[in-house]
Amino acid sequence: MGDGGLLSLSWNNHKATFCHILSTLREKERYTDVTLACEGKFYPVHKLVLSTCSEYFESMFEHTPCKHPIIVLKDLKSDEVESLLSYMYAGVVNVAQNDLARLIKAAELLKVKGLAVPDEPPQEVENRKNSPPRSSRDDRSSPHPKRRRRDDSDGVAGEQHGTNASPPASPRTSPYHAASEFHQDNSRTHNEGHVSEHRTEKSIDRLEHDVRSDAKSTGDLNPDQHNPAKPCSPLQVMLEETLVKEEIMDHLPEDKDSLMGSGMDYGSMTSDGRLENSSSDGGTQEHQLLSAKYEQQSLAPSQTHHLPEAVVEALAGPSGMQGWLGGGGDMSGTFSGVDSYGGDSRHQDLRQPLPTQQPQAHQMALAMNSEKKYSMGRLAVVGGCPKSTVGNEQKPEGHVRPWTSHIKKFECTYCSYFTITSTNLMNHLRTHTGEKPFACVYCPYRSTQKGNLKTHMNKHHAEYMALRNSQ
C-alpha cells in the first residue's frame, strides 16, 4: 500500500449490526412511520423496511401521501404478520412446519421478497425452509444473539408471536440474501457444516463471546445453538416466545392509547378484539389505508423528539446509521430533531436556509458530528450566545457584540456553526472537508490553518524557520 493507495475500510459486523439496529428501532418504535393493524394488534413499523422487502408495500406507500398511514391487514393473522415482520426486519423467521404454508401464503399476499414463491408448491418451499439453520450463521454475527433455549419449544409450534421480537437473535442481511440462500439450501439441505463459514472471523469471535456470556447467564446455552437445526426440527420453533409476548403486551396498549388518542379512526373493534374495518367490503382481499388522521399532530413531534435519543441509544457507534437514515424522504423533520440535540432552539432557525446541495444524509452525519463536538464543550452552543466561550473567557470585554441573529453572516453549510468573518468560516469548513492545504515540507504534517503549520514548523523544524527568516 503505497502513497495514495486506496484503503478499504469495512465494518465487519455491519450487516448484523444493521439488522439489530433496525430491530431495536422497531422495538422502541422509533421513527416508525406506518402502522400495521391486524386482529386488533398494532405494529408500528417503518415504511422503508416494508417497501424494501415488499414491492407491494413499496407501491402502496408510493401512492400514499399520508405521513403515517395505518394499514389494516384484514385477511391475515396477527401471528403471520409478526412472522413476516420478523422476516423483514431480521431476515429470518422461525415457523412451525404446520404454519409454513399459511405463512408463505401471507408472504405471497404481501409479495414479500424472498418468501413469496408463488411458482412453487409449498411443499418444496418447506424443504427450503431448512434454511433457518443456515440463516443462523448470521445469527452469530448478531451483536446480541440472545437466544434462549426452550427445550420443549417443539410443542408450541403453533405459536409464532415470538418471532416478533426475535430480531436480535438473528439479524439477516436482507430478504434478498435470504432468498438466495433458500436456493442454496436446495442443493445442500442437510449440510450444516456451512453454518458459520460466511462469517468474518472477527464477528465470530465477538459473537461467540457474546453467546458464551449468554450461556453463562442462561446456563444451558452453547454456541452451537446458533444452529437451530440441532435441537429442533428443521423448522425451528420459537425460542423467545414468552419474552416476546411480554414485550408485545407492553407496547400494544400504549399503541392503542396513543393511536386512539390521536383521533385515529380504526373502524370498529369486535368483541374479541379483532379489528374490523368498517369500510372493508371484503372484496379487496387485504388491506385498506384507513385514515390519515394519525400523523403530524401527535406523531411527528414525538418522532423528532425521539430522534436524538435514538441516535445516541440505537445508533450507537461513530458511524451510526446516518447514511441509511438519510435515505428517508422526510428527513427534514428528523434532521431538525438531530439538530436540536444541543438543546438550542436557535438551530432550528439556522437550519432553515440550509443549502440543499449537500445530501441530507451527509448533512445529518456532519451535524451529528458537530453537535457531538459542541456537546463536548468546545463551543457553548447550548442556549444563549452561540459564540464560543473561548471568546468570552479570552476577552471578556471583547465579547461585547450582541450575538443576535442579524449579526451572524457566515453560516456553515454542514453544521450549525456560524461566524461573522468569512475567514473563520473558511477555516471551519476545512474541518468538514478535510482539506489541509498547508503542508510541512519536512514531514507529512498537514494543517488546515497556516498558523498551525507555522507553529508546527517552529517547534519541529526550527532550523528551517531560522534559515528562512535569515534569508
Binding site for DNA (CB under 7 A): 376-379, 387-391, 393-395, 398-399, 401, 417, 419-424, 426-428, 430-431, 436, 445-452, 454-456, 459-460
The residue among 90, 96, 120 whose CA lies nearest residue 108 is 120
The residue among 394, 371, 352, 268 whose CA lies nearest residue 312 is 371
Q: Which residues, other chains included, contact 203 with Cβ-Cβ below 8 Å and sequence gap of 6+?
A: 12, 13, 16, 140, 141
Q: In this structure, how many other beta carbons lie within 10 angstroms of the beta carbon of residue 197?
A: 8
Query: Which CB atom, from 256 or from 399, has the smaller least distance to DNA?
Result: 399
Taking the complex as a whole, the smallest distance from the CB of residue 369 to DNA amounts, in Å, to 10
* Torsion sign across C-alpha atoms 10, 13, 19, 25: negative
Q: If you compute the radius of gyration of the chain from its CA atoms, what whole number of angstroms results?
A: 27
Query: Which CB atom, from 213 or from 394, has the smaller least distance to DNA?
Result: 394
Q: In this structure, how many other beta carbons lie within 10 angstroms of the beta carbon of residue 244?
A: 24
Query: Which CB atom, from 258 or from 369, has the smaller least distance to DNA?
Result: 369
Q: In this structure, how many other beta carbons lie within 10 angstroms of the beta carbon of residue 331?
A: 18
Query: Which CB atom, from 14 or from 436, has the smaller least distance to DNA?
Result: 436
Inter-axis angle of helices 296-313 and 14-28, nearest 10: 140
Query: Which CB atom, from 198 or from 468, has the smaller least distance to DNA?
Result: 468
Query: Which CB atom, from 63 or from 406, has the smaller least distance to DNA?
Result: 406
Query: Which CB atom, from 20 or from 428, has the smaller least distance to DNA?
Result: 428
Query: Which CB atom, from 183 or from 401, has the smaller least distance to DNA?
Result: 401
Taking the complex as a whole, the smallest distance from the CB of residue 2 to DNA amounts, in Å, to 22
Evaluate whether 25 touches 31 at the Cβ level (below 8 Å).
yes
The residue among 200, 139, 195, 196 whose CA lies nearest residue 171 is 139
Residue whose C-alpha cell reads 425521539 in the numeric block:
306
Taking the complex as a whole, the smallest distance from the CB of residue 342 to DNA amounts, in Å, to 14
Distance CA 444, CA 403 (A): 39
Query: Which CB atom, from 194 or from 454, has the smaller least distance to DNA?
Result: 454
The DSSP line for 201-234 is HHHHHHHHHHHHHHHHHHSS--GGGGSTTTTS-S
Q: What are phi and psi of 148, to 5 degrees?
A: -120, 140
Taking the complex as a whole, the smallest distance from the CB of residue 5 to DNA amounts, in Å, to 20
Query: Which CB atom, from 128 or from 387, has the smaller least distance to DNA?
Result: 387
Taking the complex as a whole, the smallest distance from the CB of residue 429 to DNA amounts, in Å, to 8
Taking the complex as a whole, the smallest distance from the CB of residue 426 to DNA amounts, in Å, to 6
| Secondary structure element (H or E) that encloses residue 109, with its range | helix 97-109
What is the grid cell recorded at 305?
423528539
Taking the complex as a whole, the smallest distance from the CB of residue 319 to DNA amounts, in Å, to 17
Taking the complex as a whole, the smallest distance from the CB of residue 324 to DNA amounts, in Å, to 25
Query: Which CB atom, from 209 or from 454, has the smaller least distance to DNA?
Result: 454
Three-class secondary structure assignment of 357-425: CCCHHHHHHHHHHHHHHHHCCCCCCCCCCCCCHHHHHHCCCCCCCCCCCCCCCEECCCCCCEECCHHHH
Taking the complex as a whole, the smallest distance from the CB of residue 414 to DNA amounts, in Å, to 10
Taking the complex as a whole, the smallest distance from the CB of residue 468 to DNA amounts, in Å, to 12
Q: Which residues, other chains included, contact 58 with Cβ-Cβ below 8 Å and sequence gap of 6+?
A: 50, 51, 52
Evaluate whether 122 touches 185 at the Cβ level (below 8 Å).
no
Taking the complex as a whole, the smallest distance from the CB of residue 147 to DNA amounts, in Å, to 36
